[in-house]
Amino acid sequence: MIIIQTTVDEDKKAKELINLLVETNKIACGTFHEIQSSYKWKEKLVEEQEFEISMYTKESLMREVVDIITQRHPYQLPKITVLEPVYTLPEYDDWVKKQTS
């Protein structure tokens, strides 16, 4: 199992992305929460509210999920990262595999 993370600017966009990927069996589930971000963009300091999304899927779907996120992402340069957990409860890992195709 892997976790793919990104950020978006509205909770509605987070829900839409998660729901699309769950409904098409590309992720088993997704979670999101509000965060406060600070970064430099085009030489300006930006401080804004964002929503960080974590999506749980099997490793073989990584490229496909990343491509879908990239195509639908509202940002010019989206943060997309992939994490491999050090440990996952085996039953949860099995569930993720069964939910995705």
Range of the domain at 63: 2-99
pLDDT of residue 18: 98
Total of domains in the chain: 1
CATH of the domain at 55: 3.30.70.120
pTM of the predicted model as reported, rounded to 2 decimal places:
0.95
**pLDDT tens digits for the chain (101 residues)?**
999 999 999 999 999 999 999 999 999 999 999 999 999 999 999 999 999 999 999 999 999 999 999 999 999 999 999 999 999 999 999 999 999 99
| Cα 65 versus chain centre, distance | 9
pLDDT of residue 16: 97
Beta strands in the chain (DSSP E): 2-8, 29-41, 44-57, 80-83
pLDDT of residue 93: 96
